[in-house]
Amino acid sequence: MNYIIPFLILITIVVFIHEYGHYYFAKKYGVGITDFSIGFGKEIFGWNDKSGTRWKICWIPLGGYVKFFGDRNVFSQTEQQEILNKYNEDDRKKLFILKPLYQRSIIVAAGPFANFVLAILIFVIINMVSGKDLTPAVVNEVQENSPAFIAGMKKNDKIVSIDNKKVESILEVSTFINTSTSETIEFLVLRNGQEISLFVKPNLIDGKDSLGNSIKKRIIGIRLVPLNNEFLKEPLPPTKAIYYAAKEVWFVSVTSLNYLGKMIVGSADSSQLGGPIRIAKITGQVAEYGIIPFFSIMAYISISLGLINLFPIPMLDGGHLMFYLFEKILGRPLSQKTQEGFFRIGLFLLFSLMFFVTFNDLRDLGLF
């Protein structure tokens, strides 16, 4: 229960923001909305607003949807004419399928966009209230015969960048090392006023993260200690807070895409890919450390949800955007048969992914 409640709170907020992105722009462009649902399946409770939209909470919390008035696909001019004949002039103005292509595209893209905005807002608040760590990353110790030792790293080297990513905090070093997908990592260090490039090949070992979960860790054999054991953490003004928040969202997005790309070609550890069970477990663990860590994990989950929904897979927002791109190029929607073929492929990919991450989750719990 300690894990379930924080997870339900987190997923409800993230899904609501995603769906509200669709809802906001749909309303802006005059699209009728019949349902705004958090979760799937049977309704637990709900209410109707003055515009006739049914707002509801359903039993299966893993997602949600906004249903548009007269929601159906149109594959031909004949079918569009059938739609026009079915509704009166006022109702036609509320039909999503009759809106201009650019409006439909914005409405669909607004869901993932809202997730990125949520993540930025969370990071901005954290940076302004809790502050951002800006402790220089100075090497205190290099283990003998370690990858860093072999590469020529020395005590008192200040790490400037890792794989061309600027290091602005001692806490970023481990993150940049473990999110790198390169076999050899490039370090730029400052030594006696001179910048030196070092190429380090990390060792991959089985380890534990700060929450005690099993992970694959990349180790190079250095120890970093802040000066006088004091971290330089300071609240940021709004402009800097926004800059670092946007930078974090960009870093997480690019790193995630690089990891997925490497995983597809078989050069990344696929066992680290988790699903709802692992997310619930980590959310519960993080929530025990306080409100700031909880909202931090919410931001990362929001980024992931936004990113995944942009994948060009039918049934996801990115799949709809892909169809709209074809419609723009061809001057007409794809045929029903073609779209159905894409949907079958998308359904297969989604079910395969669900099976894979669920297997990883159960294995993480020691059931396999």
pLDDT tens-digit map of 89-125: 888 888 888 899 999 999 999 999 999 999 999 999 9
**Minimum mean pLDDT among 171-185, 210-224, 249-263: which range?**
210-224
Buried b (16+ CB within 10 A) or exposed e, 292-325: ebbbbbbbbbbbbbbbbbbbebbebbbbbbbbbe
Q: What single string gives the DSSP state of each residue in 207-270?
A: EE-TTS-EEEEEE--EEE--GGG---EEPPPHHHHHHHHHHHHHHHHHHHHHHHHHHHTT-S-G
pLDDT digits over 323-356, tens only?
A: 999 989 998 888 878 888 888 888 888 778 777 7
Q: Could you give all domains of the chain from N- to C-terminal order, each with its CATH number?
A: 4-129+302-364 (no CATH), 132-234 (2.30.42.10)
For position 171, what pLDDT does the model report? 86
SS3 46: strand
With CA atoms as reference, report the closest residue to 276 among 209, 356, 347: 356
Question: For residue 187, how far is the Cα from the chain centroid?
Answer: 27
Average pLDDT in the 279-284 region? 71
* pLDDT at position 185 over 70: yes
Which residues form the catalytic set?
19
31, 100, 125, 313, 363 from 298: Cα distances, Å = 30, 34, 13, 24, 24
Distance (Å, rounded) from C-alpha 113 to C-alpha 105? 12
Q: Are strands 158-162 and 139-142 parallel, antiparallel or unpaired?
A: unpaired
pLDDT at residue 17 above 80?
yes
Model confidence at 270, pLDDT cuts 50, 70, 90, reads: low
Q: Are 344 and 313 in contact (CB under 8 A)?
A: no
For residue 162, the model assigns a pLDDT of: 93
- How do residues 31-55 score in pLDDT, each as one tens digit? 999 999 999 999 999 999 999 999 9
